[in-house]
Amino acid sequence: MLVGTMNFPVPIDEPVGPREGRDGLRGHVMAEVESGRSDLQIETNEISPVVREVAVEVESKRVDSAFGRVVKELRRTAQVKGFRRGKVPVNVVKQMYGESLAEEIERQLVRETLADAVKLAGLEPVIEPQIEAEPPVEGKAFRYKARIEVKPEVELPDLTVLSGSRPKVEVGEEELLTELESLRERQVNWVEEDDEVAAAEGHQVTIDFVGTIDGEAFDGGTAEGVDLELGSGRMIPGFEEQLVGATSGEQRDLQVPFPDDYGNEELSGKDAVFAATVTAIKRKELPELDDDFAKDLGDFETLDDVKDKIREGLQSQRQHASDHALHKSLLDDLVTRTSFEVPPTLVERQLENQLRQFEQQMQSRVPQDDLRARLAQMREEGWDDARRRVQETLLLETVAKSAELEATDEEVDARLDEMAESQGVDSKMMHDMADAQGWKSAVAAEVVERKAIEHLVEGAQISEVDALEEA
């Protein structure tokens, strides 16, 4: 019978024994447990560079011992009419529990022997092994097979021949002015126009409206006191354009079709009429770009102080983007110079993680039907991207091992402090969460991965390119 996936009792990220070379695993390997016990034998077969099948044989003496142990426990708790508790005959217990007795013994034997078998095979599972077994029988050896996915053997090229490109980090005066204008727009003051002034693009109109389709109002089509800047593109095409020229107090019927790709299927492609009343028209007044404007923004004395802060923020953003582009170019080159098979279950797990993160980020932002459709599309199209991410992880892990890179406790703590600051939470709370939820090891792995990337940067041939060229 198929037992399925077993929870592996040995940490899969830790070596569980000496690794066999590729040649040593081709064909079959027979061995006994290194502890000297002779009640367990294994036969290892290489299915692929990342999959091994370990056939395990447990001698009959241990099988009988397991039967005796389980039956003894069942006799102690079984309630059978005509027998006192603990005095039920063995044959009655076996008859009562039948197949479930063999299944329990099967589970116990696999749980007790799997770690030893994997250790003896010299394998490092990347995910819980899949187990296939036949029911154990008293007086006979018990046999099962474990399908185990392992990390591939990755041979690194000469890392000094890797090439990467780093985009220049530049912040121009024009970008500063654009950011300043954006800040200025956020400090806008809307001043109501006289009644005879007609609405034009750039005006903010306040409107009440009732939307109908074939004369019937529909959900979400009615609102009051809506402030809308004409030309902003907030409404469906044609809505804002038909308000141009209206005056305060004027009522207009806006005839607009919903786009075919509109998010609500009940409305998409249908013609609607919105009875809209303009209740106010306001013009935009922007503050002057001077020191008073800077002081109104907060902890600034002069406009130059604001410019310096903007420049610092843009510089940081550009530097981050430049570093990311450099790292990607190096990994692109490293991937093209190596060839190895990737464990399929690792790719599946990576894809599921990506889908879960996307769902968490978008759950409150888009309709559920749209989200489900997007997730289905990502599941169908995301395999290659997930596989690439696993490739990169395995490569960087190999680089780290080759360079003997490790994460110190101080570096892990510093990374947790950095995470706390970026998320706006208390540093101690972040550390306590990491301890309680057991993800400090994941943080340590991230630290090591960063070190591995920097190791690549230090040895590679880096060329500087224009930011536009990189884009």
Beta bridge partners of 275: 210, 253
* Structural domain of 145: 2-149
Q: 181 in a domain, yes or no? A: no
What are the φ and ψ backbone dihedral angles of 297, each rounded to 5 degrees?
-75, -20
Q: In this structure, are residues 20 and 29 in contact, taking their beta carbons and an 8 Å threshold?
A: yes
What are the φ and ψ backbone dihedral angles of 374, each rounded to 5 degrees?
-65, -40
How many Å apart are CA 70 and CA 80, to the nearest integer? 17
What per-residue confidence (pLDDT) applies to 290? 92
pLDDT tens profile 220-240:
899 999 999 999 999 999 999
267 and 304 share one domain: no
Any residues with CB less than 8 A from the CB of 90 and at least 6 apart, and which?
71, 75
Paired tokens of 460: 């590679």
What per-residue confidence (pLDDT) applies to 367? 82
pLDDT tens profile 27-73:
333 344 344 445 789 999 999 999 999 999 999 999 988 888 877 76
265 and 336 share one domain: no
310 and 459 share one domain: yes
316 and 405 share one domain: yes
262 and 322 share one domain: no
Q: 356 in a domain, yes or no? A: yes
Amino acid identity, position 200: A
pLDDT tens profile 315-363:
999 999 999 999 999 999 999 999 999 999 999 999 999 999 999 988 8
Q: 183 in a domain, yes or no? A: no
Helix pair angle (427-437, 409-423), 10° resolution: 120
348 and 204 share one domain: no
Q: 225 in a domain, yes or no? A: yes
Paired tokens of 420: 């706390």
Local structure of 113: helix, strand or coil: helix
Q: 180 in a domain, yes or no? A: no
Q: Left (φ > 0), alpha (ψ -120 to 50) or beta: where does 255 sit?
A: beta
Where residue 312 sits, what CATH number does that domain have? Answer: 1.10.3120
Q: 204 in a domain, yes or no? A: yes
Q: Point out the residues of the chain with pLDDT beneath 70.
A: 1-38, 73-98, 468-471
As a residue count, the chain comes to 471
263 and 334 share one domain: no
**Which alpha helices (H) appear in 206-302, and where do they start and end?**
291-297
253 and 305 share one domain: no
For 160-193, b/e burial (b = at least 16 CB within 10 A) is: eebebbbbebebeeeebeebbeeeeeeeeebeeb
Q: In this structure, are residues 470 and 172 in contact, taking their beta carbons and an 8 Å threshold?
A: no
Where residue 23 sits, what CATH number does that domain have? Answer: 3.30.70.1050
Other C-beta atoms lying within 10 Å of the C-beta of residue 22: 11
Show which of 252, 285, 318 is a domain's final residue: 285
What per-residue confidence (pLDDT) applies to 7? 41
Where residue 257 sits, what CATH number does that domain have? Answer: 3.10.50.40
**Given the structure tokens 């939470």, which residue do they identify?**
425
Q: In this structure, are residues 453 and 327 in contact, taking their beta carbons and an 8 Å threshold?
A: yes
277 and 311 share one domain: no
Against a cut of 0.75, is the pTM above it? no
133 and 46 share one domain: yes
Rg (CA), the chain: 34
Q: 409 in a domain, yes or no? A: yes
Show which of 86, 116, 149 is a domain's final residue: 149
Q: Counting beta carbons within 10 angstroms of the beta carbon of residue 228, is it exposed (0 to 12), middle (13 to 18) or buried (19 or more)?
A: buried
Q: 178 in a domain, yes or no? A: no
What per-residue confidence (pLDDT) applies to 75? 62
Other C-beta atoms lying within 10 Å of the C-beta of residue 65: 13
Q: In this structure, are residues 382 and 351 in contact, taking their beta carbons and an 8 Å threshold?
A: yes
313 and 271 share one domain: no
**Looking at the 3D structure of the chain, how many domains does it have?**
3
**Strand ranges (DSSP E) for 231-328?**
251-257, 271-285
23 and 101 share one domain: yes
